[in-house]
Amino acid sequence: IVEDALEQFIINNQHRHFLKFLRYYIERQEPETEMVHIFVDAVGDLTIVNNFSNEITPQRLEAFPVDCLEQGFDNEDLLISTIVATFPRLIVAHKGVKEYFPRAIDALMRIFKGRFVFCCNCLQCKQELKSVFPKIRHLSLRNT
């Protein structure tokens, strides 16, 4: 039991240091994308779009290592990696995202401190669509 607790402590410590490193790295980069929106539907399927309503997937990112997809990364790891690879100026998480992806959202809030907001009942969230509208409008944002 002590070994397991020590191992978990080491893993958590490494995770915190890694997130600090990512935040340091991100803060020194010029944003490549103005804004990304993270949507989740009623069954937990994730959609990420940029400020031009273009869908962002790991496969479409040049900076994204394709072998990550083959190595069985879970959806939370893919969400974090996809967002980090886009270098957004602002991240907007919409209804349900935090509930389906709590670990990823916590990590993104730490990495993108001050650049992460939660939607507060935008038109898309009120209508609870399974897919993203072609235009992102009428957003109410809450800072983290």
Quote the CA–CA distance of 116 and 123 in Å, as a whole number.
19
Q: Which of the two residues, 77 and 138, has the higher pLDDT score?
A: 77
Reported confidence tier of residue 21, pLDDT bands at 50, 70, 90: confident
Q: What's the confidence (pLDDT) of residue 59?
A: 58
Type of residue at 78:
L
Q: Which of the two residues, 78 and 131, has the higher pLDDT score?
A: 78
* Angle between helices 102-111 and 2-27 in degrees, nearest 10: 50
> Tell me: the pLDDT tens digits for 26-85?
888 889 899 999 988 888 888 899 888 888 876 554 444 445 445 555 778 888 888 988
Q: Is the whole model's pTM more than 0.85, yes or no?
A: no
Cross-strand partners of 116: 91
Quote the CA–CA distance of 84 and 77 in Å, as a whole number.
11
Quote the CA–CA distance of 11 and 14 in Å, as a whole number.
5
Could you tell me the two tokens for 132? 């993203």
Q: What's the confidence (pLDDT) of residue 47?
A: 86
β-strand pairing of 33-40 with 88-93: parallel
Closest by alpha carbon to 86, among 48, 124, 138?
48
Reported confidence tier of residue 16, pLDDT bands at 50, 70, 90: confident
Closest by alpha carbon to 105, among 132, 139, 80, 134?
80
What is the percent of the chain with per-residue pLDDT over 90, rounded to a whole number? 23
Decide: helix, strand or coil at residue 47: strand
Q: What's the confidence (pLDDT) of residue 102?
A: 94
Q: Which of the two residues, 133 and 79, has the higher pLDDT score?
A: 79
> Tell me: the pLDDT tens digits for 109-123?
999 999 999 987 777
